Structure 1
């Protein structure tokens, strides 16, 4: 039996061809295909970058063994199967390759959509590999691209299914791509547009370089495998499989770095054992890798596995300069430097976890309520980087980190592509710290998308939005319903407002478990007050004992409005009442997201939040007054103010491609970009003052009130201390403006 195992290798082209023919089959005792869309994408990146993806373990099959093990084709296979090999190890990789390169008309398991994989040619040629590989569901928009080669050429999208098609499809695609951009270059030259011509010629040149990469990949990339002889008994084969999958040790990037550090005299596993008690609040097996990722982000802004390799002491990293020249640099000089950076990363993670746990900061009272575990490395790195900034910049930088964090939570940003997203966000945030106009696109996306949040669908604890809402409730200081106190974080859990037992009887689906029907309460309150009863049974008793005003205030701290309270008290309480209640709470929570996060009132005391909202209403009323007084004539606005506003609108449009600049060409639209002092200057303008004289009487009193209002507004919005004089004068100015503007 010495020759029962035969090591060999196979080209990518031949492997795909055999996959299409159905030569590889999966025994019944193998687990189902369970890779997620981004796992497939990452394997494609590894193949294109010529990385080793591990060996396959194949058993040369025969009919009796195919039948004995109930073998089936790989997931998604179409057509007849020409069974040849039973896959003992490598099912996930083979199925991922089939799905990406052949693109079967079938959704991934537990997914509603069929996903299509592609390479962004321009990013690949530029060696921006974290951005070059992507996938999309076959929606109407993407179907048009994948069904139209010219659309692919225009967007530099190479579908991986072209490789799977075989024959002349690959060379025809490359030739078509090159011709598309060659024709574009000729058309641009014909109209003397040298810029477009040069860019198009560049893309045409890239087409041939990309074609060479594809030829080399398909013909020369080799996948190794071990073939077991077909005469081996089933018992021996199953024993081999068991050894691999049960007793074998999975090698991850931490294990690899540990092995490479041992000859240098450093025991990485011992460092991890020493650090782990400091980070045990977060329940994840990846924390040891997260430490390496924080080190990597702080040293080189990137954290995917290939970058972690450059953390090895003395390891040279190739660096490509903007002009195309190359050099090498060493990130970590020696063992002492490695340990220093390790300690810094551990401390950064520890400090970040403490900040996230704080009930007045981020409200993560339990590891179960952290919106994303995978956001930890970049969040920790940003907090560590913040400490290196000058003292005068730290407050504003922390404000921006907080904004980015909540934007990431409520846009599901860290649900996939975590490592590349972390790198992009770290670089974008560093740029924003230094340049106010460099606001990341994520921020504008959050400002737009939060209104479309369907909180009714958030029924599963652990999702980013569900946990984010729960965190906000904790930060809001949701008071206990029986004591009126803010409970200790360890005493809280999320409980149903309308009992789950009632929902099981009266509602369809799992709507009763939505976050709109959950709130942080102590176990004692759930047990002693709610007691599996409807709110119309337990709320009247609370009101009778504590008074209606007290209970209303407590419920409002849970984002339960007076209107929602009135609905909960209805008797009888019907499924229609429940729908009305969760609709009202959806409205209240969206308003809270806007006020606390979008308008950044989260750090303000309740009284200052209210004042800030009142100041905002004064500004809105002043805009309306100016528009009416000027009869909508934008040309009457002082020219210097119009110029400033135009600059702001142009900056906003660059940050947000969805912004319709045409909306802001009239006075009504441009007034949205006026600051408070510009509103004052417009009213007080020598030529325009007669239009406002009857309302304001004297410019002196108007100027004084604007000054008081501006001082309070700036103190609130720039996190300065609001002293008693500033607050009281500002309050008086708000009252004065409200009185004058209501005439």
Structure 2
């Protein structure tokens, strides 16, 4: 609910330390002219926006509002950071009405700095000569509004006009100065306090009158609107992820950093340390991968690894124990993927979240990837490419990460997977004919990236066209080059819709460093490739590695034929490494469950109530309150009892059980 407070109350709260900023908030960046505009808006009654406060209910690090000078000594002084436990925060909120600024820190800081005199802000009053003809001169000064009186808001005293420094007004309010003291301590020290037309007494009265009016505005509780949000850590993170009103993107890891800082683990410093010590991985380092991996380890694969779990359950002790280890495994995993040609570079990886199950595999293995046995290697290869070409990580991937990590752990230990449905899902490939390759033409598509990386995998590492050197993991020039240039296709096949359609497909693309010294533009492939061949006599070997038919060097007109041949080669690779391997993988990594007899406990959650029942494994009947039902019949009975309405539902998706590894699953998986 929207509330209001005065600017004076805001400043007092900051002085007392009952208003702070989250440690992760960006620095105060407003130019002083924005502060002038802010006070001008206040004087003229223009809405300046609401401030949003939060009452945190979790441990957090906070910092003071910026009171450093803009220039000179102390401008780079580090701001004080305080760390509070959950209990300390709760007590401060209860006893001192403690709040942190979620949105509006630039405005709040500007107001505070002006009142404290850190930034000099002056109200400059009009002289009579500044008024327009017939403008309110018939009003006494006491009857005029500040908007009518103001000449400007400035950073300096005006030598020809009454000037009132706002920090003086705040001091007058706080110390309740009498007129005599105001005259002695402030007014007499002014550069302008009287002239031939307007004498000393007149200007003193004018000064005091304007001071009173400014105090009235600064004390006015309705001037500054605010929202006070009582937030748990989930809502706190969500607020920052969605607010982004100033163009600054904050992620939940920023809030996590503030929590961990309160426990003496500096996440930002650890990230910077990793980047400084590992330049090869610095550009694309993803701290969220490390954090989610850590969450999996702490939860031992039984908990979610989503934002809520991470913010609520992970603490500085977990990070102190595992951060450096996981960073090491992270590097080893990326090196394994690159050395074995699964990826050309990290930026071109189809699903970056797939790194997490691989790190968990390395953790469970207990030794370097080079120590994998043959069964490990064959499963990793099948799992990796099947996951990409079945698009298993598209959309929300947390559940997929946990499932894959759990099964890769079993593989690492030499155990077999008991869930046949898992292998069935891996086999649901999206590329079922060579023509399917033409459907993917956007870099944002994981399958598009997967196709380009598949060429790299088949070739044991792609090479540059200009020198046949293997492409570098960190080459920032890497781009998805059109083999037949777009402009060439548009001119040569300008009326052929099929050619236009296939022009930007993955089949007409390959990954190479940008050819900066050769203007390809609308040149035919035979022409620009021969220019490259003058630099690299082994270009044809490079084209072979890119699965590009060599006819392209001589016969540009074979656009469709060359793409078709390349699509055929790629489809044969998928057949070879995935389709033809499905039976073999199943035979060597799946173990059929022994036929179960008897009953198992099952459960369901409906309208926040947990319902217990049993499943007869032989008859597939659910026993609920001593009555036998089909799974769907039992589900309908539960819904009728809880809600008073009998609604049909699929019982196989309603009831759940825990398997041998204590993982919650739907009973439909038992049926499968």
* Coarse TM-score class (shorter-chain normalised): 0.3 to 0.5
Higher strand share: 2
Higher relative CO (CA 8 A, sep ≥ 6), structure 1 or 2?
2
Find the structure with the greater CA-based Rg. Answer: 2
TM-score between the two structures when normalised by the length of structure 2: 0.43
TM-score between the two structures when normalised by the length of structure 1: 0.39
